[in-house]
Amino acid sequence: MTILQVLPSLEGGGVERGTIEIAAAIQAAGGRAIVVSAGGKMVYELDRVGAKHITLPVQSKNPLVIRKNTKRLLKVIEDEKVDLVHARSRAPAWSAMGAAKAAKIPFVTTFHAAYGRGGVLKNWYNSVMAKGDRVIAISDFIARHIQENYQTPAEKIITIARGVDCRKFNPAAVSAERIIKMATDWALPDGVPVIMMPGRLTRLKGHVELIEALAKLENRNFLALFVGAGSGREAYRNELNNLVIQKGLQGKVQIKDYCADMSAALMLADVVISATNVPEGFGRVAVEAQAMGRPVIATAHGGSLETIKDGETGWLVPVGDTDAMAKAIDQALGMSPAEREVIAEKTRQFVLQNFTVEKMCNATLDVYRNLLQKPAGL
């Protein structure tokens, strides 16, 4: 069968990564995977797994463009003999839904985030993600959000947790050379515990709160790394650098830009932080870190309540509570080597049991099969 996935672009991110993983699974199951987006640096990964990419301006929120995209997608459906459409973001979902209805084929959405509620127009715009013949929620938190805010029948909602590639995010698969190269590139001092916070440089990630918590660790030697900041947001970057100086943390907090080898980077971390001050739908960072055997400290809301076992694979702290964050970091850095070995085994097993790419892909393919009434294969 031929499955069409639609998303704004392929420039990088969790939604994009999941799209490629599902495309690979469709191809491996004997189906045909097509992805429509505005393009981006990850298109080559689709080529590598044998999927087809078609470039259309589906990232646009302009109503006129959305209407034109409906016709463009309908032509793709007809030309490629598409059997099912799967939309992953709001603007392209409106076009994809119209095209799927016109073609009289199933329409699936993946609800990736708890979109903020607003006026009537914004709520209507968000609602398209809850209008699929099946609506995939990436966590129980998102499933509850859909039920509480939209009129989607419960039988149409299915929770499929995001997955990580546990072959890539595997301590045994990371060579000493890769770790040494990363440490050398970043000029890390020997013997200094590393606190790592991966993620974009945006206020929602909680950098300010983490810096304030770090300032409370007066008797701890450490190096905190904000990894994957990327370019742009210079005003926020300057604000963080000024706060570091104000708190007397010069040299102890560093901002690192794009990282091409996160599995090696995570091997350098003694503890990984997810300090988001708004609830995330899932939280891939926490799961990738645990797959690498690293304990995680996260703010206790959203998907983190499902991806971290408090007191076993990490610590959950109240949102905005910098004292609790500081206490958890102090506890994490104070663990003995034996305690670290125990928690490393627990974190990896937790991920292997619940959050693998294979588990996510198999469950998604089952959604397709059920809608298409196919007993096996694609």
Which domains are present in the chain? 2-163+356-372 (3.40.50.2000), 171-354 (3.40.50.2000)
Residue 53, pLDDT score: 98
Q: What is the pTM of this model?
A: 0.91
From 6, 25, 155, 125, select the one nearest 69 (Cα to Cα): 6
The span from the CA of 164 to the CA of 240, in Å, is 30
- Can you read off the two tokens belonging to residue 212? 């304030």
**Tens-digit pLDDT profile for the chain (378 aa)?**
999 999 999 987 889 999 999 999 999 999 999 999 999 999 999 999 999 999 999 999 999 999 999 999 999 999 999 999 999 999 999 999 999 999 999 999 999 988 877 778 889 999 999 999 999 999 999 999 999 999 899 999 999 999 999 999 999 999 999 999 999 999 999 999 999 999 888 899 999 999 999 999 988 999 999 998 767 788 999 999 999 999 999 999 999 988 889 999 999 999 999 999 999 999 889 999 999 999 999 999 999 999 999 999 999 999 999 999 999 999 999 999 999 999 999 999 999 999 999 999 999 999 999 999 866 666
From 208, 201, 216, select the one nearest 248 (Cα to Cα): 216
Residue 260, pLDDT score: 84
Residue 104 burial by Cβ neighbours in a 10 Å radius (0-12, 13-18, 19+): exposed
Strand pairing report for 314-317 and 296-299: parallel
Residue 329, pLDDT score: 98
Residue 13, pLDDT score: 80
Residue 151, pLDDT score: 85
Largest distance between two CA atoms of the chain: 66
- Can you read off the two tokens belonging to residue 350? 């937790």
CB atoms within 10 A of CB 346: 17
The span from the CA of 61 to the CA of 74, in Å, is 18
The CA-atom distances, in angstroms, between 336 and each of 273, 312, 332, 345, 347 are 19, 15, 9, 15, 16
The span from the CA of 295 to the CA of 234, in Å, is 30
